């Protein structure tokens, strides 16, 4: 029996937690008639460190999946995964709801996740 062990080569992941009290941006969005709120917690430097997504009109399963996804993205940000890497990976993800938005800077999206990452790129793209 063989095992596949990964050797640590001089680097241990380090989580930079946000302070207990922090600034945040809360943004109301509408994607294809589905309203929701995106809240982004910020480090003192202004860099995003956590993401919360609340969508109305969705059942427990979809809400749970979106909440879990937001938690995973928050952990990525806290472990210093560059925002542009996340944006490149998750922009243009396609699933319902999709369509026209009420945000003139992001007129059309292919999913809620597409909207979130287009918004993050719009607001924080120069911080990467």
pLDDT digit string, tens, across residues 58-96: 678 888 999 999 999 999 999 999 999 999 999 999 998
**What's the confidence (pLDDT) of residue 5?**
58
Identify the domain containing residue 122 by its residue range.
24-127
Could you tell me if residue 16 is inside a domain?
no
Task: Specify burial of residue 117 (Cβ count, 10 A radius: 0-12, 13-18, 19+).
Answer: buried
Share of residues in the chain with pLDDT > 90 (%): 77
Could you tell me if residue 98 is inside a domain?
yes
**What's the confidence (pLDDT) of residue 125?**
86
Could you tell me if residue 97 is inside a domain?
yes
Could you tell me if residue 117 is inside a domain?
yes
**What's the confidence (pLDDT) of residue 62?**
83
Could you tell me if residue 59 is inside a domain?
yes
User: Which of the pair, 19 or 12, is modelled with greater confidence?
Assistant: 19
User: From the DSSP assignment, how many helices (H) and strands (E) are in the chain?
Assistant: 3, 5
Could you tell me if residue 28 is inside a domain?
yes
Could you tell me if residue 18 is inside a domain?
no
* Predicted structure pTM score: 0.87
In the chain, how many domains are there? 1
Could you tell me if residue 70 is inside a domain?
yes
User: Which of the pair, 110 or 6, is modelled with greater confidence?
Assistant: 110
Name the DSSP letter for residue 53.
E
Name the DSSP letter for residue 33.
T
């Amino acid at each position: 029996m063989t095992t596949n062990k990964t050797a640590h080569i001089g680097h241990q992941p380090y989580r930079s937690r946000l302070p207990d009290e922090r600034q945040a941006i809360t943004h109301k969005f509408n994607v294809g008639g589905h309203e929701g709120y995106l809240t982004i917690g910020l480090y003192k430097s202004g860099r995003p460190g956590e993401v919360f997504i609340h969508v109305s009109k969705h059942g427990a399963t979809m809400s749970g999946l979106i909440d879990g996804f937001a938690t995973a993205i928050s952990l990525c940000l806290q472990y210093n995964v560059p925002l542009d890497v996340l944006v490149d990976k998750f922009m243009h993800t396609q699933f319902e709801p999709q369509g026209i938005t009420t945000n003139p800077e992001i007129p059309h999206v292919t999913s809620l996740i597409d909207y979130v990452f287009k918004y993050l790129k719009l607001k924080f793209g120069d911080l990467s």
